[in-house]
Structure 1
Amino acid sequence: MKNLVINVSTYDFQTYAADRFVLFEEAILAVGPMAELDATLAGLGVTRDDCAVTDGKGGILLPGLVAGHTHLYSTFARGWLTPFDPASFQDVLDQLWWKLDRALGREEVYLSGLAGAGEFLKNGVTTIIDHHASGRTIKGSLDALKQGVVDEGGLRALFCFETSDRFDVDECIEENVSFHEARRSDGQGRCGGMFGMHASSSLSDDSLKKISEASGDMPVHVHVAESREDVDRTRERCGKSIVERFDGFGLLREKSLIAHGVHMEDDAFALLAERGCSMVFNPTSNMNNGVGLPPLAKAVDNGVPWLVGNDGLGFNMNRDYQNLLFTHQLAHGPGSFDWGWLLGSITRGYGYVNDLLGCRIGRIQEGYDADFFVVPYASITPVNQDNIFGHFFFGLLDNLSPSFLWTGGRLRIRDGALADEAVYRRGEARRVAERLWRDILKG
């Protein structure tokens, strides 16, 4: 049965149109004004009775959002109970994240991915680029994530394993390469692989040499200069910057994702642009960790493409879109943030995913994949093509809770709740999280 959404405005970060319908299966079949609905259906040989009809009741239909850098293994970290008193970013890693990730086995990976997928959907996020780590299970961990997040949870995703000298480097390399190769040949456009590395400070030259030789032309996904410690340790050990070090091993490849870059040296930005790398900024996490703010102006000035992520801090993109603007204005003055920067970043994220997965997301047009959601919005001021992004930023992002959401044409959110709550196995995830915390507390 075909799906039909009626009585919505559509906005895909390029075009706004009021009083529309969208007809779709896995991909969009037709979009048009409500006044032309019956004629369009007749021309396609379809009646309303042939469709599952959803009345959007005047809401706005938008393409699902992309989280450009996240950590689904953080799903079980909410309300953390082990001793935590950090004085530096390295303390944050030692006292929280590295305690958590080394305790994760296959079941924890699968359930954190599945439960996390449901949370992302409830916030309008339908595609994620995930940076994974699990010390108890390296081999097969990305397949466990795929099962939970993509096959059952309904998201699209790019996955990698966070290679680090903390783990068995050879096993990390094998997991990244084998997963990438398997996904590259499946042709479904829903899941793909990158080569994951933790950070310069946790990888020796020997490890980088192995990675360079084994990973071929795979794009890399890595934290760079998130903290001052990463920069200083690399300079002390290697006598060069992080970006120079990675480039010396041939790891600054086209489509690679450089996460954070808070303390990156000024000359690194031009090199990233030259190599065809992209950056991904995570302002809320950077503030929470006390490491600084994204170097947005330097990326823009040097022509480095950039996306926005949440670094595993929650399951939405709302705060990071808003905090990117608010912190930039605070640091550089009112009017210093160009709206086109963020708008371009959002559309660029769709293009990035389309290139690596071979899908078509991000537009409300015939032929594009049916990954989108309806959000109620009754504005007290006019909405039109000229001001719709302002409404998105200052209106929709304040309460971005989809009433309906589809991925690949399948209904995932109905009337503001998961259409099939049982799929996401929240009760089982809660029991596993409780056991995980108990084991970590025991040491």
Structure 2
Amino acid sequence: MTFTPEVIDLLIEARWIAAVDPDVVLKNHAVAINHGRILAVLPASEARTRYQAAQRVTLDEHILIPGLINLHTHAAMSLMRGLADDLPLMEWLQKHIWPAEAEHVSAQFVYDGTRLACAEMLKGGITCFNDMYFYPEAAATAAAELGMRTMLGITALEFPTPYASDADDYLDKGLAVRELWRNNPLIGFCLAPHAPYTVSDRSFERILTLSEQLNLPIHCHIHETRHEVEESQRQHQQSPLERLHHLGLLGPGFIGVHGVHLAESDLELLAATGSSIAHCPTSNLKLASGIAPVVRMRQLGINVGLGTDGAASNNRLDLFGEMRLASLLAKGTSGDASALPARDILRMATLNGAIALGLGHEIGSITAGKAADLCAVNLGTLETKPCFDPVSHLIYVAGRESVSHVWVAGKCCVDHKTKPNPAQNDLDSAIALWQNKLEFRQEP
């Protein structure tokens, strides 16, 4: 009887594959992909016999990992990169960022800024980002054009902006956009109340109702600065997290962003409710907010993912940088060199982020049945040799410049470090235009 190989779309062979779930590193294996999904992970020699692939990619000196997940960013703020550096958070927001947004943020601004952010993130191995910003329709259009997976925030604030007049208006507009994009498999939505100090109890109650009715995660800045916590104690006689818990928002669908200043009771609340934290170490340091107690979070079993925050406060959308910094900060603050080892950090940047977004069944690991969101990292260059442990090299040696290929749902978005997207030819001129406008408003 003659054996007939199964015809598939793509076969990727790699020197190493870090599956994440299960927590194994496979050598000389292959990933079989069809219709955007992972069919199997198996030895390369067996894969060549079993499958007839329309395309085969051989990565002799690479490690293949799940696509990285940026659990918190403000993508369109890439156009404000470096606009007002070296300032504390509230001065940065109130005197620079919010005035610039009031004058310039529009659907076109968000479209161009999100295109820039997506291009940067894809080239750095990020295949999915969790966004919080205005004009989500423009952000969805930009992400879809570049083939990137995203969870877009349905933002809520109590004060008016050019986008909306009050919290109800923000929510209503965001929900209308969700309805328009609900059939796109790469575009999802979160409810995104900005922070407890900008959202009322009444609005939080509506957000909770919507979350329960529509099964949407809640994505919210929380405990970012000491001042925020102190003001909450003064106004509400409880911490911001205690307030949100009292309102019913904490739970497996809640993603708290930053979580820098957390008392033990706050940490226990996060653990008991199954809430997640988006850890943004670079932004926390750059704005002098502090260092989140991630080691203690992990001891308590809290799900922690990694985010960059926006390029205005980082100033890079670079999860390789966040992975390395998160690991080093954990070791330095705990006095334990074994804290947050490389494999734990890789899981934080992949599967933990997927779980926080409610996408753990779909992305975050190289597992049969999941979407083929993948990133190939070249460990064969002079700067990365010798290589004794490829996962350790991912965190402590390689950088985003080592990313060679990226696939989202099986579609190649970065090929040999190049983004094959001629539709983005006008991006440079669009960025230059916004730079001129933003520079004009800056005080001399």
Residue 66 (str. 1) matches residue 69 (str. 2):
yes
Q: Secondary structure at the match of 2:60?
A: coil
Q: Secondary structure at the match of 1:158?
A: strand
From 22, 37, 40, the counterpart of 2:31? 22
Q: Show the counterpart of 1:143.
A: 137
Shift of 1:341: 4.2
Say which is worse superposed, 301-310 or 399-408, in terms of deviation: 399-408
Matches within 5 A, 1:19-418: 19-25=28-34, 26-41=36-51, 46=52, 51-80=54-83, 86=87, 88-102=88-102, 103-132=104-133, 134=134, 141-149=135-143, 151-167=144-160, 168-180=166-178, 185-186=182-183, 188-212=184-208, 215-216=211-212, 218-312=216-310, 313=314, 314-335=316-337, 337-339=339-341, 341-349=344-352, 351-352=354-355, 356-357=358-359, 360-378=362-380, 380-381=385-386, 383=388, 387-396=389-398, 398=399, 400-418=401-419
Cα RMSD, aligned residues only: 2.7
Q: Show the counterpart of 2:4.
A: none
Check conservation: 2:121, 2:318, Cα contact below 8 A. yes
Shift of 1:317: 0.5
Shift of 1:123: 0.3
Provide the TM-score with structure 2 as the length reference: 0.85
Check conservation: 1:375, 1:401, Cα contact below 8 A. yes
- CA 1:243–1:38: 2 relative to 1, 3 Å: closer
Provide the TM-score with structure 1 as the length reference: 0.85
Say which is worse superposed, 68-77 or 371-380, in terms of deviation: 371-380
Matched to 2:329, the amino acid is T
Q: 1:124-150 deviations in whole A, cap 9, x for unaligned?
A: 000111121x3xxxxxx112111111x
Check conservation: 2:16, 2:63, Cα contact below 8 A. yes
Check conservation: 2:387, 2:393, Cα contact below 8 A. no
Specify every segment of 5 or more residues in structure 2 that has no aligned partner in the other structure, as ranges. Answer: 1-7, 161-165
Specify every segment of 5 or more residues in structure 1 that has no aligned partner in the other structure, as ranges. Answer: 135-140
Shift of 1:441: 3.7
Percent identity between matched residues is 23
- CA 1:2–1:215: 2 relative to 1, 3 Å: closer
- CA 1:121–1:263: 2 relative to 1, 3 Å: same
Shift of 1:106: 0.3
Shift of 1:287: 0.5
Say which is worse superposed, 417-426 or 206-215, in terms of deviation: 206-215
Matched to 2:38, the amino acid is I
Say which is worse superposed, 343-352 or 93-102, in terms of deviation: 343-352
Check conservation: 1:226, 1:262, Cα contact below 8 A. yes
Q: Show the counterpart of 1:138.
A: none
- The separation in 1 between residues aligned to 2:237 and 2:43, in whole angstroms, is 62
Matched to 2:96, the amino acid is L
Shift of 1:107: 0.6
Shift of 1:309: 0.8
- The separation in 2 between residues aligned to 1:105 and 1:239, in whole angstroms, is 38
- The separation in 2 between residues aligned to 1:331 and 1:60, in whole angstroms, is 30
Following TM superposition, where does structure 1 have runs of at least 4 consecutive aligned residues deviating by more than 6 angstroms?
none
Q: Secondary structure at the match of 2:243?
A: helix
Q: 1:342-401 deviations in whole A, cap 9, x for unaligned?
A: 344245325416x63586223334333221122211264454xxx4432322233x4553
- CA 1:401–1:247: 2 relative to 1, 3 Å: same
- The separation in 2 between residues aligned to 1:199 and 1:307, in whole angstroms, is 19
Check conservation: 1:62, 1:374, Cα contact below 8 A. yes
Check conservation: 1:124, 1:400, Cα contact below 8 A. no
- CA 1:363–1:338: 2 relative to 1, 3 Å: closer
- The separation in 2 between residues aligned to 1:331 and 1:227, in whole angstroms, is 18
Shift of 1:427: 2.2
Q: 1:285-325 deviations in whole A, cap 9, x for unaligned?
A: 11000111011133223332111111122221012111112
Q: 1:400-429 deviations in whole A, cap 9, x for unaligned?
A: 532222111111112211122543642243
- The separation in 2 between residues aligned to 1:390 and 1:238, in whole angstroms, is 45
Check conservation: 2:63, 2:390, Cα contact below 8 A. no
Say which is worse superposed, 267-276 or 425-434, in terms of deviation: 425-434
Q: Secondary structure at the match of 2:121?
A: helix
Say which is worse superposed, 31-40 or 262-271, in terms of deviation: 31-40
Q: 1:168-207 deviations in whole A, cap 9, x for unaligned?
A: 2221121344445555x53x54221111111122223444
- The separation in 1 between residues aligned to 2:336 and 2:360, in whole angstroms, is 40
Shift of 1:433: 1.5
- CA 1:19–1:213: 2 relative to 1, 3 Å: closer
Check conservation: 2:112, 2:431, Cα contact below 8 A. no
Shift of 1:115: 1.8
- The separation in 2 between residues aligned to 1:155 and 1:361, in whole angstroms, is 13
